[in-house]
Amino acid sequence: MTEAFLQYVWQYQLLEGPLTTTDGQLVCVMNVGMLNRDAGPDFISSRLRIGDMEWAGNVEVHVKSSDWNKHRHSQDHAYDNVVLHVVYEHDAEVLVCGERKLPTVELKHFIPIVLWNNYEALLAPPDAREIACADKLHDIPSVQFNAYLERLLVERLQRKTEMVRRMLKESNGSWEHVCYWMIAHYFGGVTNALTFELLAKATDYRLLSRWKDNPQRLEALLFGQAGLLESDFQDDYPQLLRSDYTALRAGAKLSPLAGHLWRFFRLRPSAFPTLRISQFAQLLAKNPNLFSQLLDSSDLERLESFFMVAASDYWTTHYQFDAPSRPCKKTTGKPFVVGLIINAWIPLLFEYGVQHGSEEHKELALELLTQLRPEKNKIVTYWNNAGVGVENAFQSQALIQLYNEYCKNKKCLQCRLGYYAISKT
């Protein structure tokens, strides 16, 4: 038995028969109160009738009554207003403030055994599946399931927009700079995201704007600032970039990153930072005012073409400097573009709507997710294997949030699907 499970059955009142205290008084729960995940009693602002007396106060939950003394609640004034002790096993009387006997409900007489069996099955499914409640998902009404997905999507967007708010503060409220940084962050992928963000912050957006008509200069500036032009090159193109950067660096007093920060190991060649930096330079040359132009691009097809760019000609036969490869045009590609829109642009657009009180922009962000195809990754595959059809990015983002925050951490008691799985009798 766990305290978390007892909190769960008390919160949802999944109990059998009329409740009574250990000394036989009838307990009527008028308002279960709010579950408190911070310090202090487990449920606050509860309303109860115990015998003939109505009480307003807090409820504390333990596996055993003696845990009250073990946790030294008698010495903590935060527990002075506890009016009911809810325990699985009553093994000791408890006094509040050293004098008032605390009424106690012993739950082992009122919990249906099937609830605990269902909960144990979720914690340790016999086939070790990734989605513990997979065999019970078909029992959940689609209306409730879809409503929960909407809530999960908002949770995920709120987590992603924390980065937007941090960057807004750092840039003194410049949406153009935040857009530039966010897109740079995603261009780095999982492996080089932070380094790409550092590159963007080390290279002033206004300086890049001066060279919007000269993609080669943009590449020289970005590769130089990335610390990737420090070698003695054999090819003419990197030598030319280094020469351009040397002149730019002296004039603008630039400080490059350390080249060793970039990671190539275990990356697919198409995701090498050298290619991504060239593609990023082409994107900036093609769209000098990123945020303003994106804000005017409400059509998905236009958005996708906005981010569809190819690295410069040198990279058609290279993945790294001085390392020739078979000719291949190095474009950003549809999966990358879709991921960029989902992870960089949509959180930015949604937060812009929040900051400006614009329902239109928030709704557009959500609408774009319904139009985009779902990501292809192992988490989406888990849900497909569990029989959940994932039709668009709205659903895949919500299900990724559900898996990462609840399924992976076995937080079934805090999950709406877990509620259905456990309470189904």
Report long-range pairs for 258-261 (Cβ below 8 Å, ≥24 apart).
Answer: 258/227, 259/226, 259/227, 259/228, 259/230, 260/227, 261/195, 261/198, 261/227
What is the mean pLDDT of the segment spanning 255-273?
A: 95
Torsion 368-372-375-380 (CA) sign: positive
pTM: 0.81
- Residue 77 reports pLDDT greater than 80: yes
What type of residue is 9? V
**Lowest mean pLDDT across 174-178, 182-186, 367-371, 417-421:** 417-421
- Residue 425 reports pLDDT greater than 60: no
What is the mean pLDDT of the segment spanning 131-155?
A: 90
What is the mean pLDDT of the segment spanning 276-298?
A: 92
Residue 18, helix vs strand vs coil: coil
Tens of pLDDT, residue by residue over 203-220, are: 998 888 888 888 999 999
- Residue 181 reports pLDDT greater than 80: yes
How far apart CA 205 and CA 197 sit, in angstroms, is 12
How far apart CA 161 and CA 344 sit, in angstroms, is 9
Tens of pLDDT, residue by residue over 80-127, are: 899 999 999 999 988 887 778 899 999 998 998 888 888 888 887 666
Residue 86: what pLDDT?
95
| Burial of residue 32, with CB atoms counted within 10 A of its CB: 0-12 exposed, 13-18 middle, 19 or more buried | middle
Work out the pLDDT band at 298, boundaries 50, 70, 90.
confident
Residue 319, helix vs strand vs coil: strand
Average pLDDT for the chain:
92
Residue 100: what pLDDT?
82
Tens of pLDDT, residue by residue over 331-382, are: 999 999 999 999 999 999 999 999 999 999 999 999 999 999 998 899 999 9
Residue 47: what pLDDT?
95
Residue 121: what pLDDT?
82
How far apart CA 102 and CA 286 sit, in angstroms, is 72
- Residue 410 reports pLDDT greater than 90: no
By the 8 A CB rule, do 184 and 200 touch? yes
Residue 419: what pLDDT?
87
Residue 287: what pLDDT?
87
How far apart CA 185 and CA 191 sit, in angstroms, is 10
Residue 422: what pLDDT?
87
